[in-house]
Structure 1
Amino acid sequence: MPSPRILIVTAVAAERDAVLSGLERGGVSSGVEVLASGVGPAAAAAGTATALTSAALGGAPFGVAVSAGIAGGFGQPLGGAVVATSIVAADLGAVTSGPDGDGPEGFASVEELGFGKAEHRPPPDLVRAAAEAAQAARGPVLTVSTVTGTHARARELTARHPGAAAEAMEGFGVAEAAAAHGVPVLELRTVSNAVGPRDRAAWRIPEALEALGAGCAAVLPVLRAWGA
């Protein structure tokens, strides 16, 4: 049986180019399409759905979709890799309030509101094998539309999502599109900064991009074997 074609979706061209460079250095670029969909879950969902539909109509469907890119980490080392055990829409929902309409009481996810899913769980055996191959941590990766910029927001997110490993902006969009097409999904992130106040001087974007290429190259044999 031939190996499945693999779709890797990044947000921006710098991430796409880092992935392509890593795959070429690792000699594992055949049968892989790398797409820069744009920033945020809506752009990621639209780009992923378009690519999956086009491939299926062309008679060469993708067997796996991967959301890949750099991210903020919750207690993760800069340059380290994370594979998502769950892909969570962390800010899709409603803020709840007391009877007088003041003093927010908390957050209700879109799933708690009864309007759909708030989480996708990649196949556990695939997550385990990919994390081992990439020497990556495992944990929930939160998809947000607004990047965290304060300690208070970081604490709020980790209180709602214990064990969260990283925060990014596209994973849930990729997962929604993949689920609609019946395609398994994986999310791989490398850490460029700590989630919290935006201290750009402390960011390590070049190192995270280098790690992203290496991580994607490391998981490609796992993806091929898993989907075969």
Structure 2
Amino acid sequence: MVLQVQEGLLTTSASAPSAVRILVATAVPAERDAVARAFTGDGGVDVIAAGVGPAAAAAATATALATTRYTLVVSAGIAGGFQPEAPVGSLVIADEITVADLGAETPDGFLPVTDLGFGTVTHRPPHALVRELAAATGARTGAVLTVSTVTGTAARAAELRARHPGALAEAMEGFGVAEAAAAHGVPVLELRAVSNPVGPRDRAAWRIGDALAALTAGFGKSATVLESWNWHDLSR
């Protein structure tokens, strides 16, 4: 397999085209490169650095989906983990991808956009695929929250956990990637490596290098599952 780099896009190409083609959308080049290091054999995987935040992620993912036919889209990168369920250095695979701050503040608290009668706030990846990937990688499964403003206080972390008790991690792109995938009728996953706790920001305690290494290892262990999966049965 030859790894190609062009305008922020890393693609894998083999001597013969693969029937399965996967798009992995990360936020920044360091995450993109960590994912790309996992794919050393034949296969059809495109890895993009789509930008930071749900809007940039949605736009870049939708552009890629409009020009290439994909079997699966994966939002990937590092994330903050809710403690103690998702310790620093661990992997998390989303069983739901939920936007946590799309809605309205009211005197009685936050109302998600669905309570206002608009849109959706959650996308659910294929359950059986999540289960098998978790078994292969040792990842924890739970909700991954998408936020436009990263949590920086214990009070905000507690508020998010109260509203989303099944949340394991927060990141900034998953819901945007999932919205683009849904618009094109393509299933979506989110795989994150935890670099820091959700809560007060302590940059000195972040382990970004370890998280990027865990991301590479996670995708390396995922390759066999993704290659052998029955893509005609994603309803399970």
Give the TM-score taking structure 2 as reference length.
0.87
In 1, the alpha carbon distance for the partners of 2:55 and 2:138 equals 30
1:225 Cα offset (Å): 2.3
1:88 Cα offset (Å): 0.2
Match of 1:49 among 59, 62, 78: 62
Q: Deviations over 1:87-116 (max 9, x none)?
A: 00100000111xxxxxxx211101111110
Match of 2:194 among 181, 186, 191: 191
Q: Quick one: which amino acid aligns to residue 219 of structure 1?
A: S
Aligned residues: 212
Determine if contact 1:3/1:225 at 8 Å carries over to the other structure: no
Residue 88 of structure 1 corresponds to which residue in structure 2?
A: 98
In 2, the alpha carbon distance for the partners of 1:183 and 1:218 equals 22
In 2, the alpha carbon distance for the partners of 1:19 and 1:222 equals 16
Determine if contact 1:85/1:140 at 8 Å carries over to the other structure: yes
- By relative contact order (CA 8 Å, sep 6+), the higher-ranking structure is 1
Q: Does 1:167 align with 2:170?
A: yes
Q: Quick one: which amino acid aligns to residue 135 of structure 2?
A: E
In 2, the alpha carbon distance for the partners of 1:42 and 1:221 equals 31
In 2, the alpha carbon distance for the partners of 1:44 and 1:222 equals 25
In 2, the alpha carbon distance for the partners of 1:5 and 1:220 equals 12
Residue 129 of structure 1 corresponds to which residue in structure 2?
A: 132
Q: Structure 1 or 2: larger helix share?
A: 1
156-165 vs 15-24, which moves further: 15-24
Residue 36 of structure 1 corresponds to which residue in structure 2?
A: 49
Q: Deviations over 1:127-174 (max 9, x none)?
A: 101111111000000000000000000000000001200000000000
Match of 1:115 among 108, 112, 118: 118
1:38 Cα offset (Å): 0.1
Aligned-residue sequence identity (percent) comes to 65
Q: Quick one: which amino acid aligns to residue 55 of structure 2?
A: A
1:22 Cα offset (Å): 2.1
Q: Quick one: which amino acid aligns to residue 195 of structure 2?
A: S
**Structure 1 runs (4+) greater than 3 angstroms displaced:** none
1:220 Cα offset (Å): 2.4
Secondary structure, counterpart of 1:153 in structure 2:
helix
Give the TM-score taking structure 1 as reference length.
0.90
Q: Does 1:15 align with 2:37?
A: no
> Which stretches in structure 2 are left out of the alignment for 5+ residues?
1-17
In 1, the alpha carbon distance for the partners of 2:106 and 2:71 equals 40
Match of 2:78 among 70, 80, 94: 70
In 2, the alpha carbon distance for the partners of 1:43 and 1:224 equals 29
Q: Quick one: which amino acid aligns to residue 43 of structure 1?
A: A
Match of 2:221 among 218, 222, 228: 218
1:214 Cα offset (Å): 1.1
In 2, the alpha carbon distance for the partners of 1:85 and 1:65 equals 14
